[in-house]
Structure 1
Amino acid sequence: MTHPEYILTLSCHDQRGIVHRVSGFLAEHGCNIIDSAQFGDAETQRFFMRVHFAREDAAVSDAVLREDFARVAASMGMEWALHDAHAKPRVLLMVSKIGHCLNDLLFRYKSGLLPVEIPAIVSNHMDFYQLAASYNIPFHHLPLATGAPESAKLAQEARVAELMEMHQVDLVVLARYMQILSPSMCERLKGKAINIHHSFLPSFKGAKPYAQAHMRGVKLIGATAHFVTGDLDEGPIIEQDVERVDHSMGSDALTAIGRDVECVVLARAVKWFVEHRILLNGHRTVIFK
């Protein structure tokens, strides 16, 4: 017999007895812990926990489990969420004219490496509509002209918000979507949108950052996946990685290496999100790998 499985995530002020209360509650409600991880931050005095467990007592319903734990959480001031471990989160992908991250995520999705559903792809350009069609995923072209007024940007973002609501989206991934989101959109997506950018090239903004890096003779290139906030490219960091480069490599080689790193870093971040492994700790993250 297959038992329903859940992932419980929580954070609260660090205090005695948290693990005891959680594990005792699960035992009392006929649940068996499959794996558990916790972390206490001495700086913020916050405690974080992720528990994967099975509900083995058929007499304990899902509703009872949630209702009873809510009382435990309230008594200890917990921020918490209880997820169906086998439910596939719904992810909206956004892209502009550079498609390596989009292509990588779609391959991982199709091959079963990324446990998600992708109900839609949004782009301000038409470049990847055929790629979307090859995966049988609806492609929504929402153009935004260069220098468009703020009203046009807000109207386009309103359409994105409609798609999110229509498809009950759990996560938005900016897979090299080259538009700055409005403050209101960033607030709407707080904790639910991930972006990718070249992390070791902070001085090289604008077009062709890897070509600029080549001209400066950099020795390390890398990528950062982070949550989207109103502070451009400064949201809580989820994952980073780097590759060494040298004088023998031209700008095309740096670009190719950099794009590979971006794909890997973004894929890890998305996978950890959909597996409920990321908890926010102020402007930082706790990642239970």
Structure 2
Amino acid sequence: MTQAPNPNQETNILGKFTSVLGLLGAALFFAGWIYRWSYFYFFQLEINTLDLPAQSFIIVPLQIFLGNGWAIFKSTIAFFVTAIAIQVTLWLIKIVTDTVVSANQLLLNRIIWATQHKRSWIAQQLKSLAEFGIGQLRSVEFLRSLINEIVIVSWVLIAIFWLARWQGIADARRDAGENSTLPVIALVTPEEKFAVGRKLDNIFADPDLKGYRIIGDRGLFEDLRGREDNDISNPKQPRVWRLLLERGGWIYLFQALPPNAKPNEIPSILAIQESDKGHIIIRSPEVSKTSSP
């Protein structure tokens, strides 16, 4: 006759499974947040102002750990390094705590031995303190278990932080250059309240700047004027505009870095507020081969 499963055992297994899922979800959310923070920080954008959906932070980490062969290799190496670091740290903590416990035990035993035949008030208090201390040493195992859990969680968070940060910066550098996975964009919008851009009927004419004001670096604006369209006639210095993000009524564009860009070079971001009169956005995975008039 088969024995019925113990309900308490099933409840315990279910509770542990739920706890693991909760910890896994928190770790994935943390990894996704660090990844996107480092990614958009490369483009000089603050992630808290982008109003990204919370559930997207849980999906993003999949490409951190399993995005490609190199990501899997890095994740594997990080796993082994983290496991070794945890073991070494726990071993050092055990040595330190055992030494401290042994020293305290020896000191308290000597205090008890020295005061057990004395009747003075001070001697009685010292003996009471020593006996209390010996009782408190029993809680060392609990404290050691708590410290062990803190050490494990800390090392795991450190590993996730650096993996997500490295991957976020690497993906941002890739998307900022010629091998970008971001779409090429053509943005057509009414000229009212728009100080930059080429006129469709006359691309050589600059827009009228009457009534506009500026605060800050005028050179940034001057560098942009006349270069708002794509130009791939010079392979060494191509000019390609890509779409970074559409969020919260804003469109974020940037001019991709050339092939010979410096390692520390970062593209300037152009943030355009969506027009209430409507606009047209054309996305493409690559630059059009049609030559400009």
Compare the two structures and name the one with the higher strand fraction.
Answer: 1
In the superposition, the TM-score normalised over structure 1's length comes to 0.22
The TM-score with structure 2 as length reference comes to 0.22
Higher relative contact order (CA 8 A, sep 6+): 2
Relative to total residues, which structure has the larger helix share, 1 or 2?
2
Q: Which has the larger radius of gyration?
A: 2
